[in-house]
């Protein structure tokens, strides 16, 4: 144990009893991502950990670490040789869940796939989807604007990301979206023993879609690129399961995350008329506001790696095979890298956040997500400039390694 670790152990704020009374458990030595108290005290926990505990341990299942500071998260995320993604991104991985490409792979396999997939998701490519996405934002708003109220998640937030990805890129019918959203949500937040079953349905659906596309003329789109596959270093062709898993990974990323940033931004604006007015008066601030909301409302709380050898992280000795989570959500509010990280400041410049991940696995959908978020705020504020949370209601959050909002009731004058 080096100085860093002993300093942490000696800190009175990190005393087990003090932590238990403040957070309901000793979060420095037995953290639990699925603890309801983490969901309730989300901001407080992250702010505490990033300042006080570069590394915390969890005893849940076979145990895992959480790494919380921006510098350590970056170092680990970039060092894929020591911290491998190939054994999965979640701790205590459900049995029977097939591995997802490209997320649960390392270079050189990972690099091969990313190089094929990247051009379909680059800033230049997705810029062409801006207008169709903007039209969809308006089509969704049309369905409820006259009512003077909506439940934002089910009527907008859970739909737009799926529409944007399915219509423009994947080409699967949007009517099948609710089934896939449910599969992904339950596969993430449902009872752990049922999660693999929910994911299996999503696999099955996309497997069928990929098979059907084999019978169709080529479109030169993302699906054709996936069909074409890649040749791995050892000369073998990427197997069918890898191709299906890419579709699953993309669908998972495409629908399970953006909703949360969108809903959180709208919720913040509902409660802060002054910020809202600023964006209405000067819409050119929206792009930067979205960057700040993305920093502050991270849908991906933490994702994991497996140590390929014994290694020390901020004074903690980790052993080969240990599972370590990168707390992207905490790293994005590191006071060592920004002023007043616990405040939302829509004019904060050059925001160095890790919400889209760091290292070779950087979110492939980040450019698409940004367009969805920016067009949503632009159109929403034009059409519904004055809105608030419905009196007597409050949004409900759920948190595990992802964070999501289940309900957000809004009202506005008609």
Partner 1 sequence: MRVRIDGENCSGHGRCAKYAPNVFRLDDDGYNADRGNEIDVPAGEEDKALLGIKACPERAISIVDA
Interface contacts to partner 1, rule CB under 8 A = 74, 78, 114-115, 118-119, 121-124, 349-354, 356, 358-362, 366-367
Residues in the chain: 414
Among ligand HEM, partner 1, none, the one that 365 touches (CB under a kind-dependent 5 to 8 A) is ligand HEM
Q: Which of residues 321-360 bind ligand HEM (CB under 6 A)?
A: 328, 355-357
Q: Is residue 249 near ligand HEM by the rule CB under 6 A? A: yes
Q: Which is nearer to partner 1, 96 or 123 (CB)?
A: 123
Q: Which tokens is 396 given? A: 């409900």
The minimum distance between CB 373 and ligand HEM, in angstroms, equals 7
Q: Which tokens is 182 given? A: 């449910």
Closest CA to 325 of 251, 401, 402: 401
Contact stretch for ligand HEM (CB under 6 A) within 51-59, 298-306, 309-317, 374-382 = 298-306
How far is 265 from 281, CA to CA, in rounded Å? 17
Q: Beta strands 409-411 and 388-389: pairing type?
A: antiparallel
- How many residues bind to ligand HEM according to rule CB under 6 A? 27
- 258-271 and 366-383 are packed helices; what angle lies between their axes, rounded to 10 degrees? 30
In the chain, what's the furthest Cα-to-Cα distance? 67
How far is 207 from 246, CA to CA, in rounded Å? 10
Among partner 1, ligand HEM, none, the one that 38 touches (CB under a kind-dependent 5 to 8 A) is none
Q: Beta strands 303-307 and 323-326: pairing type?
A: antiparallel
Q: Is residue 198 near ligand HEM by the rule CB under 6 A? A: no
How far is 403 from 3, CA to CA, in rounded Å? 33
Closest CA to 406 of 157, 226, 170: 157
The minimum distance between CB 124 and partner 1, in angstroms, equals 7
Q: Which is nearer to partner 1, 250 or 405 (CB)?
A: 250
Q: What is the contact mask toward ligand HEM in residues 114 to 133, using x (rule: CB under 6 A)? A: x-------------------
Q: Which residues here bind ligand HEM, judged by CB under 6 A?
A: 85, 89, 102-103, 114, 161, 165, 249-250, 253-254, 257-258, 261, 299-300, 303, 328, 355-357, 361, 363-365, 368-369
């Amino acid at each position: 144990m080096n100085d860093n670790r002993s300093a942490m152990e000696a800190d009175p704020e990190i005393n087990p009893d003090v932590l238990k009374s403040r957070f309901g458990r000793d979060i420095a030595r037995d953290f639990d991502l699925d603890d309801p108290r983490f969901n309730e005290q989300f901001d407080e926990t992250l702010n505490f950990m990033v300042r006080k505990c570069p590394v915390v341990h969890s005893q849940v299942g076979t145990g895992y670490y959480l790494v919380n500071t921006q510098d350590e998260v970056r170092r680990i995320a970039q060092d894929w040789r020591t911290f491998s993604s190939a054994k999965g991104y979640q701790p205590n991985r459900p049995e029977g869940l097939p591995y997802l490409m490209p997320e649960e792979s390392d270079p050189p396999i990972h690099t091969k796939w990313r190089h094929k997939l990247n051009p379909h998701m680059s800033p230049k490519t997705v810029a062409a989807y801006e207008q169709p996405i903007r039209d969809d934002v308006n089509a969704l708003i049309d369905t409820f604007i006259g009512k003077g109220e909506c439940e934002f998640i089910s009527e907008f937030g859970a739909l737009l990301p799926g529409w944007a990805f399915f219509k423009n890129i994947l080409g699967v019918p949007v009517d099948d979206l609710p089934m896939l959203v449910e599969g992904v949500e339950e596969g993430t937040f449902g009872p752990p023993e049922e999660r693999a079953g929910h994911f299996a349905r999503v696999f099955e659906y996309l497997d069928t879609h990929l098979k059907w596309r084999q019978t169709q003329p080529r479109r030169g789109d993302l699906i054709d690129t996936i069909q074409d596959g890649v040749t791995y270093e050892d000369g073998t062709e990427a197997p069918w399961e890898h191709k299906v898993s890419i579709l699953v990974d993309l669908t998972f990323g495409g629908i399970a995350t953006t909703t949360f940033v969108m809903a959180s931004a709208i919720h913040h604006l509902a409660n802060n008329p002054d910020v809202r007015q600023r964006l209405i008066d000067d819409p050119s601030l929206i792009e930067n506001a979205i960057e700040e909301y993305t920093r502050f409302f991270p849908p991906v709380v933490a994702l994991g790696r497996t140590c390929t050898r014994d290694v020390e992280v901020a004074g903690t000795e980790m052993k080969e095979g240990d599972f370590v989570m990168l707390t992207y959500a905490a790293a994005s509010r590191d006071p060592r890298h920004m002023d007043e990280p616990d405040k939302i400041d829509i004019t904060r410049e050059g925001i160095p956040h890790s919400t889209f991940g760091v290292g070779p696995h950087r979110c492939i959908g980040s450019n698409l997500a940004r367009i969805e978020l920016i067009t949503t705020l632009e159109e929403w504020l034009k059409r519904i400039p004055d809105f608030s949370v419905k009196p007597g209601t409050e949004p409900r959050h759920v948190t595990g390694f992802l964070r999501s909002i289940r309900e957000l009731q809004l009202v506005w004058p008609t």
